[in-house]
Protein backbone atom coordinates (compact mmCIF):
# COMPACT_ATOMS: atom_id res chain seq x y z
CA UNK A 1 0.00 0.00 0.00
CA UNK A 2 2.70 2.59 0.85
CA UNK A 3 4.46 1.86 -2.44
CA UNK A 4 1.26 2.40 -4.42
CA UNK A 5 0.64 5.66 -2.62
CA UNK A 6 4.20 6.71 -3.34
CA UNK A 7 3.76 5.88 -7.03
CA UNK A 8 0.48 7.76 -7.17
CA UNK A 9 2.01 10.76 -5.46
CA UNK A 10 4.98 11.06 -7.81
CA UNK A 11 4.43 13.35 -10.82
CA UNK A 12 4.60 11.56 -14.17
CA UNK A 13 7.33 12.87 -16.49
CA UNK A 14 5.73 13.69 -19.87
CA UNK A 15 8.94 12.74 -21.72
CA UNK A 16 9.05 9.33 -20.04
CA UNK A 17 5.38 8.85 -20.74
CA UNK A 18 5.90 9.72 -24.41
CA UNK A 19 8.82 7.31 -24.63
CA UNK A 20 6.71 4.59 -23.05
CA UNK A 21 3.79 5.29 -25.44
CA UNK A 22 6.09 5.16 -28.48
CA UNK A 23 8.39 2.27 -27.61
CA UNK A 24 6.40 0.37 -25.01
CA UNK A 25 9.39 0.36 -22.63
CA UNK A 26 10.32 2.53 -19.68
CA UNK A 27 13.31 4.83 -20.33
CA UNK A 28 16.28 5.02 -18.04
CA UNK A 29 17.91 8.19 -16.72
CA UNK A 30 20.60 8.17 -19.43
CA UNK A 31 17.97 8.09 -22.21
CA UNK A 32 15.93 10.88 -20.61
CA UNK A 33 19.03 13.05 -20.14
CA UNK A 34 20.09 12.48 -23.76
CA UNK A 35 16.59 13.32 -25.05
CA UNK A 36 16.51 16.53 -23.01
CA UNK A 37 19.90 17.58 -24.42
CA UNK A 38 18.72 16.95 -27.98
CA UNK A 39 15.46 18.86 -27.36
CA UNK A 40 17.39 21.83 -25.96
CA UNK A 41 19.75 21.76 -28.94
CA UNK A 42 16.83 21.59 -31.37
CA UNK A 43 14.78 24.14 -29.35
CA UNK A 44 11.70 21.92 -29.34
CA UNK A 45 8.39 23.01 -27.85
CA UNK A 46 6.01 20.97 -25.73
CA UNK A 47 3.48 20.35 -28.50
CA UNK A 48 6.04 19.65 -31.24
CA UNK A 49 5.66 16.51 -33.30
CA UNK A 50 9.43 15.84 -33.29
CA UNK A 51 9.24 14.51 -29.74
CA UNK A 52 7.89 11.22 -31.08
CA UNK A 53 10.71 11.00 -33.63
CA UNK A 54 13.18 11.84 -30.88
CA UNK A 55 11.78 9.01 -28.71
CA UNK A 56 12.07 6.58 -31.61
CA UNK A 57 15.68 7.63 -32.29
CA UNK A 58 16.54 7.22 -28.62
CA UNK A 59 15.03 3.77 -28.71
CA UNK A 60 17.19 2.95 -31.74
CA UNK A 61 20.21 4.33 -29.92
CA UNK A 62 19.48 2.07 -26.97
CA UNK A 63 19.18 -0.88 -29.30
CA UNK A 64 22.51 -0.08 -30.97
CA UNK A 65 24.13 0.24 -27.58
CA UNK A 66 22.69 -3.11 -26.59
CA UNK A 67 23.80 -4.80 -29.86
CA UNK A 68 27.23 -6.03 -28.68
CA UNK A 69 25.64 -7.69 -25.69
CA UNK A 70 23.02 -9.30 -27.84
CA UNK A 71 25.68 -10.41 -30.33
CA UNK A 72 27.50 -12.10 -27.53
CA UNK A 73 24.23 -13.70 -26.41
CA UNK A 74 23.59 -14.82 -29.96
CA UNK A 75 27.06 -16.32 -30.15
CA UNK A 76 26.42 -18.16 -26.95
CA UNK A 77 22.86 -19.16 -27.65
CA UNK A 78 20.80 -20.00 -30.68
CA UNK A 79 21.27 -17.76 -33.73
CA UNK A 80 17.78 -18.41 -35.00
CA UNK A 81 16.22 -17.23 -31.78
CA UNK A 82 18.28 -14.07 -31.97
CA UNK A 83 17.20 -13.50 -35.55
CA UNK A 84 13.59 -14.04 -34.64
CA UNK A 85 13.94 -11.65 -31.76
CA UNK A 86 15.65 -9.15 -34.00
CA UNK A 87 12.91 -9.53 -36.60
CA UNK A 88 10.23 -9.04 -33.97
CA UNK A 89 12.06 -6.03 -32.63
CA UNK A 90 12.42 -4.64 -36.12
CA UNK A 91 8.74 -5.20 -36.82
CA UNK A 92 7.82 -3.56 -33.55
CA UNK A 93 10.10 -0.63 -34.35
CA UNK A 94 8.61 -0.34 -37.83
CA UNK A 95 5.10 -0.43 -36.37
CA UNK A 96 6.08 2.21 -33.85
CA UNK A 97 7.68 4.19 -36.66
CA UNK A 98 4.50 3.95 -38.74
CA UNK A 99 2.46 4.93 -35.73
CA UNK A 100 4.72 7.93 -35.18
CA UNK A 101 4.46 8.88 -38.83
CA UNK A 102 0.67 8.56 -38.66
CA UNK A 103 0.63 10.75 -35.57
CA UNK A 104 2.83 13.28 -37.32
CA UNK A 105 0.57 13.18 -40.35
CA UNK A 106 -2.49 13.62 -38.12
CA UNK A 107 -0.78 16.51 -36.36
CA UNK A 108 0.05 18.12 -39.70
CA UNK A 109 -3.51 17.62 -40.94
CA UNK A 110 -4.88 19.08 -37.72
CA UNK A 111 -2.57 22.06 -38.11
CA UNK A 112 -3.71 22.50 -41.72
CA UNK A 113 -7.37 22.29 -40.68
CA UNK A 114 -6.80 24.80 -37.92
CA UNK A 115 -4.99 27.06 -40.39
CA UNK A 116 -7.85 26.77 -42.89
CA UNK A 117 -10.45 27.44 -40.19
CA UNK A 118 -8.48 30.40 -38.93
CA UNK A 119 -8.13 31.73 -42.46
CA UNK A 120 -11.87 31.23 -43.08
CA UNK A 121 -12.70 33.06 -39.85
CA UNK A 122 -10.29 35.82 -40.76
CA UNK A 123 -11.87 36.15 -44.19
CA UNK A 124 -15.37 36.15 -42.71
CA UNK A 125 -14.34 38.82 -40.22
CA UNK A 126 -12.79 40.90 -43.01
CA UNK A 127 -15.93 40.46 -45.15
CA UNK A 128 -18.15 41.56 -42.26
CA UNK A 129 -15.92 44.56 -41.60
CA UNK A 130 -15.94 45.42 -45.30
CA UNK A 131 -19.75 45.15 -45.39
CA UNK A 132 -20.07 47.39 -42.34
CA UNK A 133 -17.66 49.88 -43.87
CA UNK A 134 -19.59 49.79 -47.15
CA UNK A 135 -22.87 50.33 -45.29
CA UNK A 136 -21.39 53.26 -43.39
CA UNK A 137 -19.90 54.73 -46.56
CA UNK A 138 -23.18 54.23 -48.43
CA UNK A 139 -25.09 55.94 -45.61
CA UNK A 140 -22.67 58.87 -45.61
CA UNK A 141 -22.83 59.11 -49.40
CA UNK A 142 -26.65 58.97 -49.29
CA UNK A 143 -26.75 61.72 -46.65
CA UNK A 144 -24.37 63.86 -48.68
CA UNK A 145 -26.33 63.27 -51.88
CA UNK A 146 -29.59 64.07 -50.07
CA UNK A 147 -28.11 67.30 -48.69
CA UNK A 148 -26.79 68.34 -52.10
CA UNK A 149 -30.10 67.46 -53.77
CA UNK A 150 -32.03 69.34 -51.09
CA UNK A 151 -29.83 72.40 -51.46
CA UNK A 152 -30.19 72.30 -55.23
CA UNK A 153 -33.94 71.82 -54.95
CA UNK A 154 -34.23 74.72 -52.52
CA UNK A 155 -32.14 76.86 -54.87
CA UNK A 156 -34.24 75.84 -57.87
CA UNK A 157 -37.45 76.58 -55.94
CA UNK A 158 -36.08 79.95 -54.85
CA UNK A 159 -35.05 80.81 -58.43
CA UNK A 160 -38.43 79.64 -59.76
CA UNK A 161 -40.24 81.64 -57.07
CA UNK A 162 -38.16 84.69 -57.91
CA UNK A 163 -38.89 84.31 -61.61
CA UNK A 164 -42.57 83.69 -60.87
CA UNK A 165 -42.65 86.81 -58.69
CA UNK A 166 -40.97 88.82 -61.41
CA UNK A 167 -43.51 87.51 -63.91
CA UNK A 168 -46.36 88.37 -61.53
CA UNK A 169 -44.91 91.84 -60.99
CA UNK A 170 -44.57 92.30 -64.76
CA UNK A 171 -48.13 91.04 -65.29
CA UNK A 172 -49.41 93.35 -62.55
CA UNK A 173 -47.55 96.27 -64.11
CA UNK A 174 -48.94 95.41 -67.54
CA UNK A 175 -52.44 95.05 -66.02
CA UNK A 176 -52.13 98.39 -64.24
CA UNK A 177 -50.88 100.02 -67.45
CA UNK A 178 -53.72 98.47 -69.42
CA UNK A 179 -56.21 99.56 -66.77
CA UNK A 180 -54.83 103.10 -66.79
CA UNK A 181 -54.94 103.15 -70.58
CA UNK A 182 -58.49 101.75 -70.51
CA UNK A 183 -59.48 104.37 -67.93
CA UNK A 184 -57.90 107.06 -70.10
CA UNK A 185 -59.73 105.70 -73.13
CA UNK A 186 -63.00 105.57 -71.18
CA UNK A 187 -62.45 109.14 -70.01
CA UNK A 188 -61.77 110.20 -73.57
CA UNK A 189 -64.87 108.31 -74.74
CA UNK A 190 -66.89 109.98 -71.98
CA UNK A 191 -65.52 113.38 -72.94
CA UNK A 192 -66.29 112.71 -76.59
CA UNK A 193 -69.81 111.52 -75.68
CA UNK A 194 -70.35 114.58 -73.48
CA UNK A 195 -69.12 116.84 -76.22
CA UNK A 196 -71.39 115.12 -78.71
CA UNK A 197 -74.33 115.43 -76.33
CA UNK A 198 -73.56 119.12 -75.81
CA UNK A 199 -73.31 119.63 -79.53
CA UNK A 200 -76.58 117.76 -80.08
CA UNK A 201 -78.31 119.82 -77.36
CA UNK A 202 -76.95 123.03 -78.80
CA UNK A 203 -78.06 121.95 -82.27
CA UNK A 204 -81.55 121.14 -80.93
CA UNK A 205 -81.77 124.47 -79.12
CA UNK A 206 -80.55 126.36 -82.17
CA UNK A 207 -82.95 124.41 -84.41
CA UNK A 208 -85.86 125.16 -82.02
CA UNK A 209 -84.91 128.85 -81.93
CA UNK A 210 -84.62 128.91 -85.70
CA UNK A 211 -88.05 127.24 -86.04
CA UNK A 212 -89.54 129.69 -83.54
CA UNK A 213 -87.94 132.65 -85.30
CA UNK A 214 -89.04 131.35 -88.65
CA UNK A 215 -92.57 130.90 -87.32
CA UNK A 216 -92.50 134.43 -85.85
CA UNK A 217 -91.06 135.82 -89.07
CA UNK A 218 -93.69 133.98 -91.07
CA UNK A 219 -96.42 135.35 -88.79
CA UNK A 220 -95.03 138.86 -89.07
CA UNK A 221 -94.79 138.63 -92.80
CA UNK A 222 -98.28 137.27 -92.98
CA UNK A 223 -99.57 140.12 -90.80
CA UNK A 224 -97.73 142.71 -92.79
CA UNK A 225 -98.98 141.23 -96.00
CA UNK A 226 -102.52 141.25 -94.67
CA UNK A 227 -102.19 144.88 -93.50
CA UNK A 228 -100.82 146.05 -96.76
CA UNK A 229 -103.59 144.29 -98.53
CA UNK A 230 -106.22 145.99 -96.37
CA UNK A 231 -104.62 149.42 -96.89
CA UNK A 232 -104.64 148.91 -100.56
CA UNK A 233 -108.23 147.85 -100.63
CA UNK A 234 -109.68 150.53 -98.24
CA UNK A 235 -107.21 153.32 -98.69
CA UNK A 236 -107.15 154.13 -94.94
CA UNK A 237 -105.29 152.26 -92.37
CA UNK A 238 -107.31 150.52 -89.71
CA UNK A 239 -106.50 150.05 -86.10
CA UNK A 240 -105.32 146.54 -86.86
CA UNK A 241 -103.07 147.72 -89.65
CA UNK A 242 -101.82 150.53 -87.49
CA UNK A 243 -101.13 148.19 -84.67
CA UNK A 244 -99.42 145.96 -87.13
CA UNK A 245 -97.39 148.77 -88.46
CA UNK A 246 -96.49 149.83 -84.96
CA UNK A 247 -95.46 146.28 -84.07
CA UNK A 248 -93.56 145.66 -87.27
CA UNK A 249 -90.35 147.50 -86.26
CA UNK A 250 -90.27 145.58 -83.03
CA UNK A 251 -90.87 142.31 -84.87
CA UNK A 252 -88.19 143.22 -87.38
CA UNK A 253 -85.69 143.86 -84.59
CA UNK A 254 -86.60 140.61 -82.84
CA UNK A 255 -86.30 138.70 -86.08
CA UNK A 256 -82.92 140.23 -86.85
CA UNK A 257 -81.65 139.47 -83.30
CA UNK A 258 -82.92 135.87 -83.50
CA UNK A 259 -81.25 135.46 -86.87
CA UNK A 260 -77.99 136.76 -85.45
CA UNK A 261 -78.22 134.38 -82.49
CA UNK A 262 -78.97 131.53 -84.81
CA UNK A 263 -75.94 132.43 -86.90
CA UNK A 264 -73.77 132.65 -83.82
CA UNK A 265 -75.17 129.29 -82.63
CA UNK A 266 -74.31 127.72 -85.98
CA UNK A 267 -70.78 129.13 -85.86
CA UNK A 268 -70.33 127.86 -82.29
CA UNK A 269 -70.92 124.18 -83.10
CA UNK A 270 -68.75 124.57 -86.20
CA UNK A 271 -65.91 125.89 -84.03
CA UNK A 272 -66.44 123.09 -81.53
CA UNK A 273 -66.36 120.52 -84.32
CA UNK A 274 -63.22 121.99 -85.79
CA UNK A 275 -61.68 122.25 -82.33
Residue 30 has pLDDT above 90, yes or no: no
Give pLDDT, residue 93.
Answer: 87
Residue 79 has pLDDT above 60, yes or no: yes
| Cα→Cα distances 260→13, 90, 104, 229, Å | 165, 175, 155, 30
d(CA 147, CA 141) in angstroms, rounded, equals 10
Give pLDDT, residue 234.
Answer: 57
d(CA 229, CA 126) in angstroms, rounded, equals 148
Chain mean pLDDT for the chain: 75
Which distant-in-sequence residues (6+ apart) come within 8 Å of 97 by Cβ? 56
* DSSP-assigned letters across all residues of 73-133: HHHHS-HHHHHHHHHHHHHHHHHHHHHHHHHHHHHHHHHHHHHHHHHHHHHHHHHHHHHHH
d(CA 89, CA 60) in angstroms, rounded, equals 10
What is the three-class DSSP state of 236? Answer: coil
> Stretch 6-25: mean pLDDT, rounded?
65
Is the full-model pTM beyond 0.75? no
pLDDT in tens, 246-274: 344 444 444 455 445 544 444 444 443 44
- Using a 10 angstrom Cβ sphere, with 0-12 exposed, 13-18 middle and 19 or more buried, the burial of residue 185 is exposed
In 3D, which of 190, 221, 216, 208 has the Cα closest to residue 262?
Answer: 208
| Cα→Cα distances 131→88, 142, 144, 197, 230, Å | 63, 16, 20, 94, 142
Give pLDDT, residue 268.
Answer: 44
Amino acid sequence: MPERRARRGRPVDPLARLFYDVTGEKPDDVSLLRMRRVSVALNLRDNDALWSVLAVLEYYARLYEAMPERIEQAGKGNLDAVREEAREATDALMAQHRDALARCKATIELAERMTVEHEARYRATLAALNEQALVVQAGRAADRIARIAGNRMVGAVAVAAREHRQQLDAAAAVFEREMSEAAARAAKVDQIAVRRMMKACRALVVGALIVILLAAAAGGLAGRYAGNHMVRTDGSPSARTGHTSLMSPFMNASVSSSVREAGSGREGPRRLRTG
